Structure 1
Amino acid sequence: MGLTKTYKDGTKPTVAIIGAGFSGMCAAIRLQTQLNLETYQVFELEPDLGGTWWSNTYPGAACDVASINYQFSFEPNYEWSQRYANQAEIWAYMRRVAKKYNLYEKIRFRTEVTRIEWNNSRQKWIVDYMDLSTGERSVMEADIVFSGAGPLRIPFIPKQFDDFEGPKWHTAQWNHSIDLTNKRVAIVGSGASAIQVVPSIVDKVKTLEYYQRTPSYIIPRRNGPYSSLWKFLFRYIPFFHFIYFKLNYYGSELTINIFSNKLIHRLPRLFTTFLSWGFRMWQVRDKNLREKLTPKYEMGCRRIVVASNYFPAVCKKNVNVHTEAIQTVKGNTLTLKDGSVQEVDALVLATGFKAQEMIPPKYLFGKNGVDLEKRWGKNPSTYYGITSPETPNMFFLLGPNTGLGHNSVLFMIETQVDYAIKAMSYMMANNLSAIEVTPKACQEFMTELDKRMQAKVWSSTCQSWYQNSEGRVTALWWGSCGQYWWRLRKFHPHNFVASKRI
């Protein structure tokens, strides 16, 4: 049965989309192609689209998901230059897709959404926004809101580095005006960003002081260029690209068992642990350094990093790996807990993001004036990460508990957008002004999620950005992408309360 694309009176809902990264782009494109809907507006804080792929331009920035899977299923790219694309190539792909669908005409750049509030009498969202270039404030009334701001958008910058007097910046705010050639550089952090930055600047700097709090499990990055022959096969041989895409997708799906605590799944995790151990043994011959780079927690409870050039980089003579905590920062000097002192010319903070701060304070007010940031607190409660009882007609994209540790989040985004499209079609077919998920359906989902998450290694005692301060996993989906799609392949009207249009 096809989708209903208009109300009976011929009108269409007005839609506000917050964010112009992959999530916002997907929502805009699917509204156009599936509902023939052009009555939408995209709000983007930055001067161009791209989200994280616009912001993160640090040296070595790249995706750790294979390029063939890191693209919209409805917009295959036959021209990826290599198996794992870098930031510039991913951003170019996003801009190319945006131009094809004329998205630039629908995006308000350098515009900050300052407040969103549900007006129950009008059955609409009141979206307050400000043009950052002029300071002008305006208001939009929207029937539907897609929130695609993304979880990894607010850099975490520890206060202890405020007193550093030299040039300093976060990896997501890379200062390209500073030439690091022959400089003494400090990098704080040992996650995926740092692991990409270190090999990219190590041969340029004089010395690299590398402050590692917790080492990562690292497996080889089997990267390589796509030849002209591969690109020809992708573009011109029927089903070749589709089959290759599916093989990569299902190959990634199988790795979900690495994160399971079930006895039957211990073997896949043991194999991956052995792969990481052997890789480290092969590339790091210095025993003392290897000990510093060896994780002391269970494989998978923190993000597994894919990199082949990191270990050779930290083995270079101009790199000093520090595992002691930084005690004081004064001027250009960093003093460690063991009393050692390092003086540096520039400081790079690879300290991650405020992933648990999903909603800014006094920003989102739902039904009956509920402040969602306060209602959620540290424990967001949603229906499959897409909506909540307090937010009628609002759809979160890559919301709570929908991130992944094993496959491409673009699959999750597409699944969520498609579910929202079905919900909107249902609204138009039944002449509804609003739908809201029931507290019962939301609670049933959260109860199941918490139960299933206990069987995953992410719920172990090792701390990660997947968990809130209470140790509850709020960032990840518990299962495979296929399981998520299967549950959301149809809209579930029995789990929603509907309001008729007046």
Structure 2
Amino acid sequence: MTTEPIQTHSTAVNGVHINGVINHPDISYQLGDFAIDEYRPVRIAVIGAGYSGILAGIRIPQRLKNFELVIYERESGIGGTWYVNRYPTRWSSFYAPGHEILAYLQKTASKYHVEKYVKLQHELSGAEWDEENGKWLLKLTTPDGEVSDAVDVVLNCTGGLSNWNWPDIPGLHDFEGTLVHSAKWTLEKEAWEGKTVAVIGVGSSAIQIVPALQPKAAKVSNFVRGKTWISAPFASREISIRNPGGETHYFTEPEMKEFENTEYYTKFRHDLEDELNAVHGSTQRGHPIQHAAAAVFREAMLRKLAKKPWIAEHLIPDFPVACRRLTPGPGYLEALCEDNVEFVTENIARITPEGIETIDGQHRAFDIIVCATGYDTTYRPRCSIKGRNGVDLQDKWKDFPVNYLSVATDGFPNWFYALGPNSAVGSGSLLVLIEKEIDYLLKIVTKLQRERLKFVEVKKEAVEDFDEYSKTVYSVKCRSWYKMGKEEGRIAGLWPGSTLHALKVFGNPRWEDFNYESADKTHNRFYWLGNGWTIPERDEVGDRAWYLDEIDYPPGS
């Protein structure tokens, strides 16, 4: 046995070279030539510039260091769903209209300088995991042709409501009038004035569109094949205070001025969120809150449909509240009772060049057909995404998007989702869930950087266990996008619990549910500790007493 000195690192402090030398029998281990806080550099691609993508563009520069960031957005502007969905609404300020939501998103993106990371009109057309180099090789379609990129981490922020489809109705594209989808609104302002308009669907989009078209259109025919609950206004306590008996409220100038008071606005917001988070019981089968909600909604729907009571027989569900997405829909039921609105329950047989023919043989002519028929909610990607061993996510999620906590799936290292499968909520605020998901994912990226990992990949058994847990809720029979547009089957859309439940889950990653591999060719798990230095000491820059700013004083001190 021999003992030889092993030189591990040489660096300069005040011009003097400091050699790290270890004397130890039979060990040949080279320390990393980096400080412990000199994190591994990573290139991150965010797919989508909607709510999640904008938030990622804010938090990544705030939370991470030593990174490159690019946000790929397929549309020609920032805003995601709210950039594309520009259909008219009559919702007031309490329920902000779409153009105000879009303006807020774009203002926020500008305020935090997110635009500098965004590449517009770049649509993901393919992705493949490069096992040897630990990279995702991306292909993107642009107006100038296809481009490629190689990144360490992908945050897919496209959400579940981004891929819209035309309905499968015979003759749809034979229609010679104006055909429009609610998810890709192309009608100019009030282009429906004096026109006959068909609106197909009774989801949240149709419920907003019908009352917006009704005042100006000559006639609106709403084709409805299913049933839905029209709920009481969300967070209605504030409405009742400001507009007793009303369903919405238009903020006055003095009220808007009050919001400039930070303390007042904070309390207002807190009270709204508190009320939103108080009704999770309405989503639980047999819960007293659910029974009470159904009774209240039924009474209100019957009252508003008194002029055309037969509609209630076709519209009021026999399934529980929240089996489908709840929508308050101010003005929808009232619009159905107007003389120029027709409620059509017969199924559509086909679409002709002039209009729509129903299965009873009746034909109606229209100038405009609006398909408020929603999205592809299967979460199956539209392009090929190949992970380990060439497995394509299109095939893996062909029947159901089996996932881990809505953010990952096995076989796809360093590929994560914000607002992925099972992350929508039946009650409460979705935005705060998105915020916590992004924070959660950035904790994973931070671990990858700090510990100099090649990849982080969720374990197959962890995916299977979450799948077993999540399949036990929201199982009542009703057609819903929560069930990928089916009447029966698994829930792909909703988180299996309340919003507050999800926030607790995303508070801290469960690291034992993941597999890791070092990005450096070393057998030693502590290679990431580096050479024993930190950057402020080694380079004589920064604060060398930063810990004094992080003292956690206990109450009463």
Structures share fold, TM-score greater than 0.5: yes
Q: Call closer, same or farther: CA 1:30–1:425 in 2, change over 3 Å.
A: same
Give the secondary-structure state (helix, strand or coil) at the position aligned to 2:180.
strand
1:221-236 correspondence runs (5 A) = 221=233, 222-236=247-261
Instruction: Map Cα deviations across residues 91-142 of structure 1 (whole Å, 9 max, x no partner).
Output: 111111111111111111011111111111001111111222x12x222111
The match for 1:467 among 468, 483, 493 is 483
The match for 1:191 among 203, 212, 216 is 203
Contact preservation (8 Å) 1:117, 1:125: yes
* Rounded Cα–Cα distance in structure 2 between residues aligned with 1:175 and 1:429: 47
Cα displacement (A) at 1:33 = 1.2
Give the match for residue 429 of structure 2.
Answer: 408
The answer on 1:163 being equivalent to 2:174 is: yes
1:102-121 correspondence runs (5 A) = 102-121=113-132
Aligned length: 467
Q: Call closer, same or farther: CA 1:24–1:37 in 2, change over 3 Å.
A: farther
Give the secondary-structure state (helix, strand or coil) at the position aligned to 1:486.
helix
Q: Call closer, same or farther: CA 1:230–1:340 in 2, change over 3 Å.
A: same
The match for 1:33 among 42, 59, 62 is 62
* Rounded Cα–Cα distance in structure 1 between residues aligned with 2:430 and 2:57: 17
Give the match for residue 219 of structure 1.
Answer: 231
TM-score by structure 1 length? 0.89
TM-score by structure 2 length? 0.80
* Rounded Cα–Cα distance in structure 2 between residues aligned with 1:475 and 1:150: 10
Contact preservation (8 Å) 1:402, 1:477: yes
Contact preservation (8 Å) 2:380, 2:398: no
Contact preservation (8 Å) 1:372, 1:390: no
Give the secondary-structure state (helix, strand or coil) at the position aligned to 2:100.
helix
Contact preservation (8 Å) 2:39, 2:66: no
1:344-355 correspondence runs (5 A) = 344-355=366-377
Contact preservation (8 Å) 2:426, 2:498: no
* Rounded Cα–Cα distance in structure 2 between residues aligned with 1:130 and 1:165: 31
- The runs of 5 or more residues in structure 1 that have no matched partner are 1-5, 63-80
Give the match for residue 416 of structure 2.
Answer: 395
* Rounded Cα–Cα distance in structure 2 between residues aligned with 1:55 and 1:210: 23
The answer on 1:483 being equivalent to 2:483 is: no
Give the secondary-structure state (helix, strand or coil) at the position aligned to 1:159.
coil
- The runs of 5 or more residues in structure 2 that have no matched partner are 1-34, 234-246, 521-557
Give the match for residue 549 of structure 2.
Answer: none
Cα displacement (A) at 1:44 = 0.4
Instruction: Map Cα deviations across residues 317-364 of structure 1 (whole Å, 9 max, x no partner).
Output: 111111010112222132211222211111111111111143124x21
The match for 1:253 among 241, 266, 277 is 277
* Rounded Cα–Cα distance in structure 1 between residues aligned with 2:519 and 2:202: 53
The match for 2:191 among 179, 190, 199 is 179
Larger Cα-atom Rg: 2
Q: Call closer, same or farther: CA 1:237–1:10 in 2, change over 3 Å.
A: closer
Give the match for residue 501 of structure 1.
Answer: 519
Percentage of identical aligned residues: 27
Contact preservation (8 Å) 2:75, 2:122: yes
Give the secondary-structure state (helix, strand or coil) at the position aligned to 1:182.
coil
Cα displacement (A) at 1:164 = 1.8
Q: Call closer, same or farther: CA 1:492–1:324 in 2, change over 3 Å.
A: same
Q: Call closer, same or farther: CA 1:490–1:61 in 2, change over 3 Å.
A: farther
Q: Call closer, same or farther: CA 1:37–1:318 in 2, change over 3 Å.
A: farther
Letter paired with 1:220:
A
Q: Call closer, same or farther: CA 1:185–1:7 in 2, change over 3 Å.
A: farther
Give the match for residue 70 of structure 1.
Answer: none
Instruction: Map Cα deviations across residues 442-486 of structure 1 (whole Å, 9 max, x no partner).
Output: 1111111113x1xxxx31121211114561111111211111121
Cα displacement (A) at 1:491 = 2.1
Q: Which moved more, 1:216-225 or 1:84-93?
A: 216-225
The answer on 1:281 being equivalent to 2:311 is: no
